[in-house]
Amino acid sequence: MSVGGATITPVRLGGARGGPAARTLRKDRWWVQPTITVVLLTAFVVYSTWAVFVNKDYYVGAVAHRDLISPFFSPCVTGSCVAGAHGTFFVIYWWHITPALLILLGPLSFRVTCYYYRRAYYRGFWQSPPACAVADAHTRYTGETRFPLILQNLHRYFLYVALMFNTILTIDAVMAFRLPGDGGIGMSLGSLVLSANAILLWAYTLSCHAARHLCGGHVNTFSKHPIRYRIWKTLTPLNARHMQLAWASLIFVALTDLYVRLVAAGVFTDPKIF
Ligand code: FES
């Protein structure tokens, strides 16, 4: 069309809602990121489901002279936990199936409702939309205003659940420096793996948008809240790396389970450092 002597080409970025994904003007490889998301999340779901239902080799105790527990099974609070994996303070004796099914509800509720993961799996699995300026695969968009997606708004409360689990996994990491049997202290590769897992989980949780808002939100004048300002300033650079921390902590938590599993199954001995 021509307007005021200039030729204008009408452009419809992203095409029509519900159109084929190919309807985009983008020439770059926009499909790479959603594809990676689908591959990684599917791999995690398949592995963790297998680990949960195989329901063994999640704890290395006095027999191997190590105190290592898989993060998928901690805190092991059900009567079905293997001997030594649970304490005596709080035990749910009527739960007879795999304990991980109960335990993982906490951390998963936090991850599934995470703002970053929501963007990632809405794009990867729902194709809604697959990427910026690419046609949405669905004809209708209702956002997160109705059940079940309205539950995503509970994320800020699941933050407290995640903080509780991080504290428990940190205690597990500290306990991994204890040598069951003689009560001594030592360090093994397993101690370091559990410690790195706890550090990554803290970094991911503290980089959460809800955590940053908790510290710096609703503050009109930072000078009147110096401590909150300081915490907010500390969390902000972490928040900028939230995506990277989300993937690093997700992959490492699965690797930590795998490490404990291989040691518990006797595939190799946890190497002793001192
Ligand atoms: S926004 Fe990702 S964990 Fe809160």
Taking only the tens place, the pLDDT of each residue in 62-101 is 878 889 999 999 999 888 888 877 666 788 888 889 999 9
Give the distance (Å) from ligand 1 centre to CA of residue 239. Answer: 9
Atom of ligand 1 nearest to the CA of 111: 3
- What letter would DSSP give residue 62? G
Tell the residue number behind the tokens 């202290």, with chain if given: 185
Which SS3 state, helix, strand or coil, does residue 185 take? strand
The residue range of the domain holding 98 is 25-264
In a domain, 1, yes or no: no
Mutate to test the pocket of ligand 1, among 155, 161, 239 (most ligand atoms within 8 A of CB): 155
> Would strands 68-69 and 178-179 be described as parallel, antiparallel, or unpaired?
unpaired
**Tens digits of residue pLDDT in 150-209:** 999 999 999 999 999 999 999 999 999 988 776 789 999 999 999 999 999 999 999 999
- Is the pLDDT at 21 greater than 80, yes or no? no
Give the distance (Å) from ligand 1 centre to CA of residue 10. Answer: 39
Which among 152, 142, 143, 141 has a CA at the least distance from the CA of 14? 141
In a domain, 11, yes or no: no
What confidence score (pLDDT) does residue 80 get?
87
Work out how many domains the chain is built from and give that number. Answer: 1
In a domain, 13, yes or no: no
Give the distance (Å) from ligand 1 centre to CA of residue 243. Answer: 9
**Tens digits of residue pLDDT in 225-249:** 999 999 999 999 999 999 999 999 9
**Tens digits of residue pLDDT in 129-158:** 899 988 888 888 888 999 999 999 999 999
Give the distance (Å) from ligand 1 centre to CA of residue 110. Answer: 7
CA distance 217 to 45: 34
CA distance 150 to 148: 5
Peptide bond into 129 cis (omega under 30): yes
In a domain, 56, yes or no: yes
In a domain, 260, yes or no: yes
In a domain, 127, yes or no: yes
In a domain, 8, yes or no: no
